[in-house]
Amino acid sequence: MPMKRMYSNIYFDHFNNQRLLSGQNAPWLCFKVERVENCMLVPLETGVFGNQVSGCCGKTERPVEPTSLTRSVLVSPNPGTELRAQQPSRKGHLGKLGCVEYPSPGLALVMLGYGASTYCPDSSMYCPETCHHPEMCFLYWFEKTLSHEEQYQITWYVSWSPCVNCAEEVAEFLSVHPKVNLTIYAARLYCYQKLNHRQGLRRLCKEGACVKIMNYEEFDHCWENFVYNNYKSFKPWVKLQDNYELLATELDKILRIPMERMPQKKFRFHFQNLIAKDRNTTWLCFEVKNVRKKHPPDLLERGIFQNQVTPRINCHAEMCFLSWFLENMLLHGKRYQVTWYISWSPCSICAEEVAEFLSAHPKVSLTIYAARLYYFWVPGYRQGLRRLVEEGARVEIMNYEEFDYCWENFVSINNEPFQPWEGLHEKYGYLVTKLNNILG
């Protein structure tokens, strides 16, 4: 079970966002779970997880107080050193754990005051693979209460971004539960120089997670809601903002690279052109071609963006593409043909931004195929689509051919053909009529 709060010294030790934080390797996770009802968030649960150990049976167990510890150890000046010195003579293991409520003040002193580890006496039940990071503790706990009929918004505040193994496990969980939305605020980036850890973060985003760096507001929120703060206000440490900006820049670099393909479940869920309940994330599949006289266009790049990929901007998929395109593709004097296959037509703000981009770059042509129309009955959104067309964009509704093309080129299909869903053609006709009415 999760703890309700952590002690203030633990929070300051482990959530300090210095890029190099010696000795603070144990991850901590503060969470809140909310249910989505009628476009409103209903709070369900909050709590804190740290590292835990489970037996080979897979059941998470709390470490127990060692029955053979002597009083002399508990009251010694350095009980952590005493415990480690006794390790070779004990049948068990020492585990670096934090998310437990200790049954005696003495052992709590050992753990929290001196940083010693807990002792788990039954070594025959221990496997290194079952030493759970808090992400796994949360998933084990949450799955027992998860309803497949409900939509959830989960928010994590973690001292370290997930390691590659946890990232893969969480991504797999999200792929199986498309009605669970996850936002992760990380105080620091774990081993972000290593390629596999960077790929782990991208995999999380590929499965719909929103990954961000904690700023002052998030640290203050955690202090108020997850820490025994004795009614004191949060006082930021030196260079909190500077560290945030450096880490946010690094995460920006990691996540701005477009994905190559998306899972079948994600495509069928987010691109289905029927009634779009619970489909709050925009996915954008793109192709960029170089246009030359007397030559067919050359394909330069193909990939996928989704909204909220970058942490420093509240970035919709369209803005993620433009940011990436401006930095990596656009060269003066060249002509480009850009095609988007997008799960939602652009919102009014994105439509205006894209229109401004096209106005400033007349050598870039844009075709947008939308699976669905976003708030097409709202005047501002209708005007946004008209503004795009005024600046030269071509806006269309995706039909069977476009869905099939996306399936072949942007989805991990394992040679499986595209199978249209019931009502695809009828809904296409309905949306075409609505779009024609908007564009005149």
217-235 residue pLDDT tens: 999 999 999 999 999 999 9
Single-letter amino acid, residue 149 = E
pLDDT at 73 over 80: no
Report angle CA 316, 317, 322 to the nearest 5 degrees.
Answer: 100
The larger pLDDT score, comparing residue 4 to residue 260, is at: 4
Q: Where in the chain is the domain with CATH 3.40.140.10?
A: 8-52+132-255, 264-439
User: What is the overall mean pLDDT for the chain?
Assistant: 80
* CATH code assigned to 8-52+132-255: 3.40.140.10
Count CB atoms within 10 A of the CB of residue 214.
26
Q: Which of 241, 249, 247, 161 is nearest to 209 (CA)?
A: 161
Q: How far apart are CA 317 and CA 328, in angstroms?
A: 16
- Superfamily (CATH) of domain 264-439: Cytidine Deaminase, domain 2 (3.40.140.10)
Known active-site residue 318: yes
- Residue that the structure tokens 């004990």 belong to: 90
pLDDT at 167 over 50: yes
pLDDT at 91 over 90: no
What confidence score (pLDDT) does residue 21 get? Answer: 57
Model confidence at 314, pLDDT cuts 50, 70, 90, reads low
What confidence score (pLDDT) does residue 79 get? Answer: 46
* DSSP at 359: H
The percentage of the chain sitting over the pLDDT mark of 70, rounded to a whole number, equals 78
Calculate the CA dihedral of residues 249, 212, 310, 259 and round it to 10 degrees.
110
Calculate the CA dihedral of residues 30, 36, 41, 43 and round it to 10 degrees.
-50
pLDDT at 216 over 60: yes
pLDDT at 312 over 70: no
What confidence score (pLDDT) does residue 292 get? Answer: 85
DSSP secondary structure, 150-207, as one string: S-EEEEEEESSPPPHHHHHHHHHHHHH-TTEEEEEEESS-TTTTSHHHHHHHHHHHHT
Please tell me the pTM assigned to this model.
0.55
pLDDT at 400 over 70: yes
Secondary structure E strands in 343-435: 364-370, 394-397
Given the residues 301, 318, 391, 408, the one annotated as active site: 318
Q: How far apart are CA 237 and CA 214, in angstroms?
A: 14
Q: How far apart are CA 201 and CA 414, in angstroms?
A: 24
Question: CA 245 from chain center: how many Å?
Answer: 19
Q: Collapsing DSSP states into helix, strand and coil, what is residue 272?
A: coil
Q: How far apart are CA 385 and CA 364, in angstroms?
A: 18
